[in-house]
Amino acid sequence: MIRVNVILFSVFFLVFSLRVEKAGAMNREKAGISYSEISNTVGFDNIKSIRPYTENPWYWEYNGKPIMLFGASDRDNLWQWTGSMLTDHLDKMKAAGGNYVRNTMSDRNEGDTYAAKQLPNGKYDITQWNDEYWSKLKFFLDETQKRDIIVQLTLWDWFDLSGDEAYGRFRLHPLNPENNINWEPGTISDAWDYYGGSLTNNNQEVLDYQHRFIEKLISVTAQYGHVLYNVGNESGLGVDWDIYWARFIKEAAKRHGQEIYVTTMLFAPESTVRRVMTHSDVFSFADVSQNNQDALGPVGKKHWENLIFWRKIIAMGEHGPMPLNNEKVYGHGVGTNTAAGSEKEAIERFWRNIFAGAASTRFHRPAYRGGDIYWGIGLSEKAQQTLRAVSMFLDEFDIFNAEPYEAFSTIGNSVDPYCLANIGEEYAIYFPGGRATVHLDPWVSVKKVGIRWLDLASLTWSEEEIIEAQWENFDGTDWWGPQRILTIIPEGHRSYVAVIKVIE
């Protein structure tokens, strides 16, 4: 049943997306809005704020220091939680080593707060703000800032209004003209009218509201330096929409003295990379979260290979290296939700993102709207264990001076290992659980190394073992070229990370 629902939804989304793209191309002039009217030039330093790491822009820096972003949470719109419900969740993630959450400006869950003020008669006045809405957001930003937790904030989540009750709440939402005192019936009729139609059809009433909402939002978020921005969740609203709002929020933030970094997230991760590269004057990083699920991304080594390929393509582009973020890593249980994948694959994807040189990785929330369709493992015990393991690994390995490394061979392995290297200094290998032997070529002449093993199940480091590299051609001749090889074999076919440091 889940597979059928996914297929039907995919068809609906494709039709919706094509409609938006076509309208955007045909009606840009009709909209009366030129990209050139909105400057995207910013001139602020904001050295303590989150920004691409100056020494290695594949990663981020915060408070002037490089930072690898990794985390997990049970909710996409964490800002809707208040008091200890929020702070306990943040504390639990922070205690496990995490420093990164996703936050959509969404109001689709039961009990969520709306932005518009509700009147005594039950209707809404969308020209007046609900103070509780913005107080919740400020509380969330205050509490994440206190804990040095980076927030990736999504402006628009079109699922809030789209589809039937299984996917949206338009019937109950204040933006439905039937529920507010401001818009005449027919001003908007569905998600298309509100999202795609506002810009492409030059629906000025709706645009005016959207402008006021985003201006208010940025007036709050620009007071904080730990926020990254994503225009749309799984956006199918067209390039015009994405670029317009990216430039709009950058200009709004500039007026508040803040330089911000913006991306968009499409359903196809490759398309996200293409859009971000094509418009690198607007977008500062790429979020490729859809690479982390079975429905739209690959399983196993191909997942890692995609990231490696995109890094190479981005490096060749005019902008050069930029962070690759993964704010959603899908997978839960044994993989009953075939679109998401299994918990085992989620954990391996989490590690592969790190070993592919991605700038961020986060476990997606578990259930959909409190139902029984599970997408991620959230901040479960397994997720917390993974966060602790990643934190332990990063304490021992300088990831910001390393690169994904492919100079190794395997024979007869049941799993694929993955490697990072700062050649001649240190190397790291991730072994998913299973039979694995790695013949690592350190490339430069290395005589002696020290190796330590991080057991990902017990969260313990082994004592350092000293090993010597062996010549591959044992007769001592250089006829086929000298090559020193380090043979690395984990114990008991369990899941490990090996850190190898050059001694001599």
- pLDDT band at 482, cuts 50/70/90? low
The mean pLDDT value for 27-50 works out to 49
Given a cut of 70, whether residue 13 has pLDDT beyond it is no
The mean pLDDT value for 285-308 works out to 96
Take residue 302 and report the two structure tokens written for it. Answer: 């191909």
Instruction: Give the burial string for 306-336 (b: 16+ CB within 10 Å, else e).
Output: bbeebbeebeeeeeebbbbbbbbbbbbeebe
**Which pLDDT score, from 0 to 100, does residue 44 have?**
42
- pLDDT band at 474, cuts 50/70/90? very low
Given a cut of 80, whether residue 496 has pLDDT beyond it is yes
Cβ-in-10-Å burial (0-12, 13-18, 19+) of 412 comes to: exposed
Q: What is the pLDDT of residues 216-225, one digit of tens each?
A: 999 999 999 9
Given a cut of 80, whether residue 389 has pLDDT beyond it is yes
**Which pLDDT score, from 0 to 100, does residue 383 have?**
98
Polymer length of the chain:
504
Say which range, 11-20, 266-275, 299-308, has the weakest mean pLDDT. Answer: 11-20
Residue 495 has a CB neighbour count (10 Å cut-off) of 21
The full set of domains in the chain, from first to last, is 2-37+60-290 (3.20.20), 401-502 (2.60.40)
Say which range, 37-46, 192-201, 231-240, has the weakest mean pLDDT. Answer: 37-46
Name which residue leads in pLDDT, 464 or 11: 464
Query: What's the pTM value of the predicted model, to 2 decimals?
Result: 0.90
The mean pLDDT value for 109-121 works out to 94
- pLDDT band at 103, cuts 50/70/90? very high
**Which pLDDT score, from 0 to 100, does residue 369 have?**
57
Strands (E), 197-281: 227-232, 262-263
Q: Decide: helix, strand or coil at residue 477.
A: coil
How many whole angstroms separate alpha carbon 189 and alpha carbon 164? Answer: 13
